[in-house]
Amino acid sequence: MRLEAKDSRRAGSEKHPPAEGEMDNMSNPEGVVKSILVQRPGAGQDDKKEELEGKLISFAWWLKKQGLRESTVKQYCKILRQLVKSSVNLDDPEAVKEALARNGRSERWKALIVHAYSAYLKMKGKHWDPPRFDVVRKIPFIPLESEIDALIAGCGPKTAALLQLLKETGMRIGEALRLTWKDVDLERRVIIFNEPEKNSNPRIFKISPRLISMLSMLPRNGVRVFPTSYHSVKNNFKHSRRRLAERLNNPRLLNISFHTFRHWKATMEYHKTKDLLHVKELLGHKNVDNTMVYIQIERALFNETDAEFTVRIAKTPDEIKELLEAGFEYVCEKDGFLFFRRRK
């Protein structure tokens, strides 16, 4: 069996909003199901197609009543459709297990199928003994800032503004595409984002004059800052990335995805602050365990064994305040003295 939906291993794991012109299809479960069947014709005979559509509409309505996002509803429905297209009987859990055993996709993708099918069985009032898949979190690629800046400079104004936004905020691509003009305070250079993905926490970002200038040059053709679909912006980005990698003779650029900007921002913020809770709040993580990986990355990329530091000692509150304002970081305390350091 070969499932045609996308692997959600890295950047593609985000739930992506549709373009503003596609919102009508996403406003109700019938629209979700019909968009899936229309986008991929050839689902089978008309009667089978109607039967499948009925099952998917019921499933979509049930998911919506559970409070799941439209993007999750659409993804789960696509998974069930692919199972049916692969001649899997949805009412036979053992057939689904067999199909998973034959499937050559990643463990993460198989785990997503299990989640979708488990939800379907729960709707039907049934249970199964689902297979377990060990999803190993891989260490992400962290590019140089010069490589990120080269990508931004080599793209058109809309894509460049989007990439600069990802660089400065660490937003997920789906969150950035859902950003509205009312979320952006151009006067105070602040973005307030209250609709995060993956049940993350809302965030507020201070952005640079450069990004403000880039956003100010964009046309306001709708409610959203970037009124386009994920697939459209992804195709534009991949084309620019490939062209720049060839022109700059730097194949490393091909490893940069939208989600790479989030990993880069988190790594740099931890390197700058050594404050894991700050990075957790920046990313909107609810569990600090998800943020811990950036400690390992930062230590590997910025090995300080050979680094030289300026060391200062403080004892009074005023001395401590002065050192912290000068960029020194606290190291330890001994005999009543506080030791601080700053990289030369």
Residue 14: what pLDDT?
A: 45
Output the CA torsion sign for 343, 297, 211, 164: positive
Q: Is the pLDDT of residue 338 over 60?
A: yes
Q: What is the pLDDT of residues 105-116, one digit of tens each?
A: 888 889 999 999
* pLDDT level of residue 41 (50, 70, 90 thresholds): very low
Q: Is the pLDDT of residue 196 over 90?
A: no
Q: Which residue has the higher pLDDT, 23 or 270?
A: 270
Residues 142/297, Cβ–Cβ less than 8 Å: yes
Q: 282 CB contacts (<8 Å, ≥6 apart)?
A: 170, 203, 265, 266, 269
Q: How many beta carbons lie within 10 A of that of residue 152, not counting itself?
A: 20
Q: Give pLDDT, residue 45.
A: 54
Q: Within the chain, which residue ranges are assigned CATH 1.10.443.10?
A: 145-301
Please, what is the Cα angle at 121 between 119 and 124, to 5 degrees? 115
Q: What is the pLDDT of residues 300-337, one digit of tens each?
A: 998 765 567 788 999 899 999 888 888 888 888 888 88
What CATH architecture applies to the domain 145-301?
Orthogonal Bundle (1.10)
pTM over the 0.85 mark:
no
